[in-house]
Amino acid sequence: MKELNKNYVYSLEDLTSEEKQQLLEKLIALDSAWDGEASRLQLFSSEYLYFSYSYKYNGEWLVCREMYYTNKEIVNAKELFYTLENIQVGCRGLSKEQIKEMCKVFEANGYKIWDNEDALKVIDNYTYLRIGMRKEFYVNREAYNKTTITYEKFIELFSNKEENFKKLVEVLNKERAEESNNPQYEVTMIADQPKEVFNPQPHYNNDNGSLYKIATQRQWNAYVFDVVKRLERGGKKDPLKQEIEKSIDVLKIWLNELEDGNENL
């Protein structure tokens, strides 16, 4: 459940009993005055939740059945329970840049694009960007067990650029560590001479020289090596477009480091 925003008035009418119970537990954690059967009944029978300084110096969360006047935006309390996995975004009419922006949010949170050239193809009834069963995101038909939201609402709820930047760095570092610490071997058992046979995957073909050797000879830093490696293997292990976009993200990280004064990177 997301954090409550004091600048909103929350409409409670669409919440299930289970969601209202979770909301009550959140309110109790914020203010022990909510801990009691009377408060529970009050919440379950009310239509609106809002923050007010009317009765307490530090303010408090209150509920009411009618909201006659407010200068705050009224939002559906369902938004508190939206996650990247239970929503979908209608992409009809969106630009390619807007769809890419949402994809980066998914990727920054550890999800990967479906490995298919039509993963982001918006056509006919295939117009909803969402996460599938294998934790991969793609454009597909409308899923009736997910809540449809707009691009603007998606960006408002999930696009914390500073936090997503940190998450993207973590994802890229993890991916790099997995590649370096997980070499591909095929073990062949021979009766009188046990032997371990090196069997690289096709995208690690070194017939024309090892990229690692070249990087060492030319004294590439980690950023240069990462970008060259991604572009060289694009279209072999992973889609070229995906590798180009990841390379751009790596370069942005490098640029950010340089702006912080790390000129030796």
Q: Bigger pLDDT: 262 or 36?
A: 36
Residue 197 has pLDDT above 50, yes or no: no
Q: How far is CA 54 from each of CA 11, 25, 61, 235, 248, rounded to the nearest angstrom?
A: 20, 23, 10, 62, 50
Average pLDDT over every residue of 113-122: 91
Angle between helices 37-44 and 17-30 (to 10 degrees): 130
Lowest mean pLDDT among 31-40, 198-207, 235-244: 198-207
What does DSSP say about strands 112-113 and 136-140: parallel, antiparallel, or unpaired? parallel
Q: Which residues contact 49 (CB under 8 A, 6 or more apart)?
A: 4, 9, 10, 12, 23, 43, 61, 62, 63, 77
Tokens, residue 30: 């914020």
Please provide the average confidence, as pLDDT, over all residues in the chain: 82
Average pLDDT over every residue of 124-140: 92
Average pLDDT over every residue of 201-216: 63
pLDDT tens digit string along 133-188?
888 999 999 999 999 999 999 998 898 755 555 655 666 666 666 665 555 444 33
- pLDDT of the residue at 205: 55
**Torsion of the alpha carbons at 57, 58, 61 and 66, rounded to the nearest 10:** 40
SS3 helix, strand, coil % of the chain, rounded to 5? 45, 20, 40
* pTM score of the predicted model: 0.55
Average pLDDT over every residue of 119-140: 92
**Torsion of the alpha carbons at 247, 252, 256 and 261, rounded to the nearest 10:** 60
- Could you give the 3-state DSSP secondary structure of residue 193? coil
Q: Bigger pLDDT: 208 or 70?
A: 70
d(CA 1, CA 79): 9
Residue 35 has pLDDT above 80, yes or no: yes
Q: What's the farthest any 2 CA atoms get from each other in the chain?
A: 88
d(CA 123, CA 175): 32
Average pLDDT over every residue of 230-250: 79
